[in-house]
């Protein structure tokens, strides 16, 4: 069965949200371990501002 364009879009959006949520959780864990904000931002592809807000 061929997936509709709408379904594909919703599926991609859900994947992105899940990836972002996981990146934020990893960032929180790295902050707890004492890693520098700039390093966490670089490794998780999250903006520095987002990582700072997670502190």
What pLDDT shows up at residue 1? 57
Residues sharing a CB contact under 8 Å with residue 28, sequence separation 6 or more, in sequence order: 54
9 belongs to a structural domain: no
SS3 36: coil
In a domain, 50, yes or no: yes
User: Does any domain span residue 11?
Assistant: no
Residue that is written with structure tokens 């899940």 in the block:
18
Higher pLDDT, 52 or 6: 52
Is residue 36 included in any domain, yes or no? yes
Answer whether 40's CB lies under 8 Å from 25's CB: no
The predicted-structure confidence for 1-49, as pLDDT tens digits, reads as follows 577 888 788 888 888 888 899 999 999 999 999 999 999 999 999 999 9
- The answer for 34, left when phi > 0, alpha when psi is -120 to 50, beta otherwise, is left
Query: Is this structure's pTM higher than 0.85?
Result: no
Note whether residue 35 is domain-resident.
Answer: yes
Residue 42 is assigned to a structural domain of this protein: yes
**Cβ partners under 8 Å of residue 37, min gap 6:** 31, 48, 51, 52, 55
Number of domains within the chain = 1
What is the pLDDT, as a whole number, of residue 25? Answer: 97
For 29, the domain range is 17-54
């Amino acid at each position: 069965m061929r997936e509709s364009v709408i379904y594909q879009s919703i599926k991609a959006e859900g994947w992105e949200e899940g990836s972002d949520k996981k990146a934020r959780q990893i960032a929180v864990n790295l902050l707890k371990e004492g890693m520098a904000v700039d390093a966490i931002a670089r490794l998780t592809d999250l903006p520095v501002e987002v990582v700072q807000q997670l502190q």
